[in-house]
Amino acid sequence: MRITNKMISDRVLNNIQGSIKRIAKLHDQLSSGKMVRYPSDNAIVATRATKIESRLREIEQYKGNVDYAQNVIRSYDTSLQEVSSVYQRLRELFVQAANGVLTADQRQAISKEIQEIKDHLVQIANTQVGTDYVFGGYESDKAPVGENGEILLNPDAAKARFVNVLGYRIDYGLTVNDIFITKNGVSVFKLIDMTVNALENNDQKMLSKDSLMSLDLLEDSVAKNLAKVGANQRMIEMVSSRINDLDIFMNEYISNQVDTDLPKVLTDLSMQQAALTAALKSAANVLTATLVDFIK
């Protein structure tokens, strides 16, 4: 096979062009910090990285959902402990009110404190996290209890909150029906109103029996829901830990797959630059002179 000057020239120029392309690719890897940016770089790794990045976006959404659920659960825990203390004080006042030898002034003082407790319970029932009423069920944008203690929560909206994380559904929500209404359908606010009315009328039967029985049901409900909140809190914490572990693992994995190995790339770049310099010098000796070179 006859080797012509043109063949040598084409080969030399092609090699130099290839060296320049390799240097340009290494510069791209250094500037972007990514070894694989396009499917053409490595189709298998690029496809795998795309799937993992999609999974990471899901995990970020899970994180947001879990963080919100944790805030709400902490709010439940604080609110229920406060309600438990308030119910205990109500019990003390109900027992005092049942004393048949109280004077009118003493009954009035107890009545006033009970009414203040009612206002406090209304505030707890309307607890908010951000703009959401945590005891409002599905209608979290509306106050579940009115200023006078009337229950405003729509029965259809009185459903527990839940969060879907990693394929699991975690029910964690409470509504005013769970904490402030007895199984018999009597709200603590109505109970307080009836007690105040009984104090004003000195109705000992109501004070000694009905009020305390209803309060027993309310306290029992609070105790059960405190246990439920504690269990939910532990579950959410475990799920949150699992999400963080997955996030770390996937980020490390995708980094190992697509991120640039800076020491290696710098070494390769130095070698390619040296090779290009040598190729240019060699080309100057290999390529034959043309008529243009003699035109001075």
- The residue type of 247 is D
Domain boundaries, the chain: 68-254
Torsion from C-alpha of 20, 22, 26, 28, nearest 10 degrees: 70
Percent of the chain whose predicted confidence (pLDDT) is above 70? 87
Distances (CA, A) of 2 to 6, 10, 113, 128, 284: 11, 15, 112, 88, 22
SS3 label, residue 58: helix
pLDDT band at 208 (very low <50, low <70, confident <90, very high): low
Instruction: Look at 1-5, 52-56, 245-249, 281-285 and tell me which has the smallest mean pLDDT.
Output: 1-5
User: In DSSP terms, which residues pair with 132 in a beta bridge?
Assistant: 129
Give tens-digit pLDDT for 245-266. Answer: 888 888 888 777 776 767 777 7
DSSP structure class, residue 185: S
CA distance 64 to 262: 34
Q: Label residue 291 by pLDDT band (50, 70, 90).
A: very low
- pLDDT tier for residue 145 given thresholds of 50, 70 and 90: very high
- Decide if 190 contacts 34 (C-beta within 8 A): no
> Lowest mean pLDDT: which of 50-64, 138-152, 224-238?
50-64
User: Quick one: pLDDT at residue 293?
Assistant: 54
- According to the model, what pLDDT value does residue 138 have? 87
**pLDDT at residue 275, as a whole number:** 78
Question: Which pLDDT belongs to residue 206?
Answer: 62
DSSP string, 112-147: HHHHHHHHHHHHHHT-EETTEETTBTT-TTS-SB-T
The amino acid that residue 79 corresponds to is S
pLDDT digits (tens, 9 = 90+) for 38-94: 666 677 777 787 888 888 888 888 888 888 889 999 999 999 999 999 999 998 888
Confidence of residue 3 (pLDDT cuts 50, 70, 90): low
**263 or 234, which is more confident?**
234
> Residue 2: is its pLDDT beyond 70?
no
Phi, psi for residue 144 in degrees, rounded to 5: -75, -15
Interior angle at CA 212, CA 210 and CA 213, nearest 5: 65
At CA 119, angle to CA 116 and CA 86, rounded to 5? 70
Q: Are 30 and 262 in contact (CB under 8 A)?
A: yes
Percent of the chain's residues with pLDDT above 90 = 22
On whether the CB atoms of residues 83 and 121 are closer than 8 A, the answer is: yes
Name every residue whose Cβ is closer than 8 Å to that of residue 292 and which is 6 or more positions away in sequence: none
Average pLDDT, the chain: 82
CATH 3.30.365.10 fits 68-254, yes or no: no
Average pLDDT value for residue range 151-163: 84
Span of 28-37, 41-50, 128-137 with lowest mean pLDDT = 28-37
Dist CA 89 CA 253 (whole Å): 56
Give the whole-angstrom CA distance, residue 257 versus residue 53: 12
Torsion of CA 81, 82, 84, 85, to 10 degrees: 120
Q: How many helices (H) and strands (E) does the chain have?
A: 8, 4
Section 102-112 average pLDDT: 84
- Who contacts 267 (Cβ-Cβ below 8 Å, separation ≥6)? none
